[in-house]
Structures are given as structure tokens and as C-alpha cells.
Structure 1
């Protein structure tokens, strides 16, 4: 628990440094692109269009889910996925790739994955903003439930950080972890109700099992805030408690692993 508290203190004390590093990283990532930061939104937007053509037009036709056209339902959920997927994949490599730059500095190493995640979060906010504009044009007016969207945005960030704190440490110790992460995320994408509705033809016990997937909670939270106008986090308080408990456990494990190995990172690298 001491390691967990220290990690939280490091994040708070380094908040402004994380913002500066995140903005600097975005400039580096897009310095050779004419469109620059726009690609942080354009790239997932192109992928969304492809998924819509395949799953929305090709496989589902003009079907609706609980009164909402499939394309809007898909957009709300998959926007969350693009952020967390990129954040975990890039954040997991942060310590291994950036360690040599800060090895001789008085620099909290837990900041490395967090500023990578923050950079991806900026792009996510821009993407969500664009999706909201599309929804407004199509008749889904802004509502008080947008307050809940702020909650789910914050939870998505914290969930991504909890995972990457652990995986970025393990990747330094065992390089194969990065490959495992990629495979797991690919599997989770298709096992999560991002492109399909989990309430389809599944038996009740399997639906309950799928609900334990954090991506299920987050995707439906985004949809509830943007499209369905209901207090999803409150109405599904059991899932809310479960997912926050899961995040806390992962954070504690990740903090312990990080503090256990951080003084030996140079040996592994």
C-alpha cells in the first residue's frame, strides 16, 4: 500500500510536467506530418468508417440497437477503445524506450507511462468532441448526462494508467510481455461489445460473464451519456463498484511491481 500511495503522490506532484511532456511528445510524433495533430483524430476516424462499412452496412444493414442507429452506437463505444488500446500499447513501452533519457536524472519513472497516456488522451478528447458534433447534427442534443461522460472519460484514463503502470514494468523485465499485450488487446476487442451487442443470442450466464469485462462498462457508459440519456453509473452501481475495485487492485499490484523493480531497471535494460 505504501508503494501505491507513493505512486499517487508522484502523479500529483508531477502533474504539470506530465502535461508539458505529453504536448512535447505529440509534437514529436507528428512533426513530419503536414496535418500534424489532426492525424490523432483522422486516423481513428478512418478506421471507424471502415468498421461501419463492414459491420454496419455489410453485416447489419440499417439495423438499430435500442432505437439508436448502429453507426452512432458503434461510434460512441469504439471511441473509448481507440484511446485505451493506443494508451496501453504505447504506455507499456514507455519505461523501456525512455529510460536511458532520464536514468541519471531525479525523475519519477512512473511519470513515463502517464505522459504517454496523457498525449493519447488529448487526441481522444478531440475525437469525442468531433463525435459529439456529429450527434448534435443528427438530433442527439446536448444534455445533463454529459456530466456523466466526464466521469467515464476520467475512468478510462485511470484504467489505462493502472494497466500501463504494471505492463510497462513487466515489459522491462520480460520483453515478451509487449507481444502478449498486443495479442490480449486484439482478443479483447472482439470479445467486448464494441462492434456487437452482447444481449443478442447469448445465454444469461454468458451475458453476466461478459459484463465483468471493463471495456463493457466503459463502452456502455459512453453510449448512455451520449445517446441513451440515462445515469448508467448509478443504475448499474454493482458494476461501478466492481470496476473501481478492479482498477484499485491493478493499481496496487502495479505500484508494488514498479517499486520492486525500479532500482534494477538499468540491469534489465
Structure 2
């Protein structure tokens, strides 16, 4: 945390480099999200036989949060590989590169959140006080994201086949997570999908408050359990192998 200036600068530089010499710059993130939500929202509202006014805001919130979660997991697979130049020259704390991934995706999240006020205004969605509960939900998500980035970063640096496996698992997780469909559409089996899917758990504690719903206590307990499991796995692994990361690059 004392090196916050380093990982903040790295994350900001990554975003700037990605959209360098672009006319719209970083707002291509916002534009791409708006086009996706508008197009898919209209089509899937007809497929699911739901009102556009209800479905599009639902999809917008869910997909924005999902994009952050999947972006962190996807970028975590190359967290240390991307830092090869730095790691081979300086003895920097390895957690800096995990924070770099989180900062980069937080910036993208901030750009995507810009589309929510227009969507809510167009479809008459009035936020309630429950939106404040998205703050502790996001805090828990960031803790989990940090641990996941360290875990995947170490494993994917050592085993270079893992990034492709994780990419395929993310595609599967997208369809198993209630992003474009509602949990009540599954009936009784929806409970198991919701509480055994870490992505669904964190999606619920962040997205539901934005839409004006108060998450259940069980949702926060489930998120805390996931964080506890990640901590129990990641911290001993990181403590044991962080010194070897530079030799795996």
C-alpha cells in the first residue's frame, strides 16, 4: 500500500496506452458498453418476453459489474508476465502488479458506469437509498479480486496453459451467472446456481443495491466465505512462491 503511486501510475498508463491516438480515447469503453447493452437488451427482452423498460436497466447493471469481474480474472493471468521488464530489473513487491490489474479494471468500470444515469433516466428507474449498500459490496469484491489476481498470477506464470483454461471457464461462467437472465427463471434450482457460483454472489451484493434492492444477509455471508477460502489458499501460496516468480518469467 505504501507503493500506491507505482501501481496507480501503472494502471492509468495501461489504459492510456490501450487507447493511444484514438479519437474517442478511453471513452471507447463507454461507447462499446452502450452499444452492447442497447442492442442485446432489445433483442433479449423480446426473447425472454420481458418489458424493455425493465430488462435493459437490469442487463446494463449486471453486464457492467460482470465486465469488471471477468476483466480482473482475465488480466490476472498475465499480471506478472506483463511486469517482466520491471521484475527483472527491480526488487518490487509482487503485489504491486496485482493492484495494477485492479486499478486498470476500476478505471474501465468507472467509464462503464457513465451509461447508467442515462439508462435509468430513459426507462424511469429511480435509485433508492439501497444504492449505498453497493459500497460495502464493492469493497468485498475488491478484496476478492486482489486475492484472485495473486492466485491466478502465480499459477499462470508457472503453468502457461492455465490462461487458456481460465478463458474457457470464464465463457462458461458467463452463461451460468444471472447476467442476461433472472434467477427466478430457473425455479427451485436457481438457489444452487446463485449460492454456489462466486460470480453470482458478488454480482448480487453489488448489482442489486444499484437497482434498489437490499441483498440478503446470506449473500454477504457467502461472499465472506469465498474471501476466506481465497485467503486460505492464496496467502500461503504467495508467501512460499513469490520469490520464484522472477525465475518463471
TM-score (norm 2): 0.90
| Structure 1 portions without partners, runs of 5+ | 1-11
Alpha carbons 2:73, 2:149 under 8 Å: kept:
yes
Indicate yes or no: 2:190 matched with 1:207: yes
Structural mapping, 1:1-269, within 5 Å: 12-57=1-46, 59-63=47-51, 69-202=54-187, 204=188, 206-212=189-195, 213-227=197-211, 229-232=212-215, 236-269=216-249
Alpha carbons 1:132, 1:226 under 8 Å: kept:
no
Alpha carbons 2:64, 2:113 under 8 Å: kept:
yes
Tell me the distance in 2 between the aligned counterparts of 1:78 and 1:250.
24
Alpha carbons 1:173, 1:268 under 8 Å: kept:
yes
* CA deviations over 1:187-241 (Å, ceiling 9, x no partner): 0000011111121243x2x2221122122233333443222x2321xxx112211
The two structures, once aligned, show a CA RMSD in angstroms of 2.1
**Greater than 6 Å deviation, 4+ residue runs:** none
| Structure 2 portions without partners, runs of 5+ | none
Alpha-carbon distance, 1:183 to partner? 0.8
The number of aligned residues is 248
Pair 1:90–1:138, CA change in 2 (3 A): same
Tell me the distance in 1 between the aligned counterparts of 2:200 and 2:190.
11
Tell me the distance in 2 between the aligned counterparts of 1:252 and 1:221.
22
Alpha carbons 1:117, 1:160 under 8 Å: kept:
yes
DSSP-derived class of the 1:104 partner: coil
Alpha-carbon distance, 1:115 to partner? 1.0
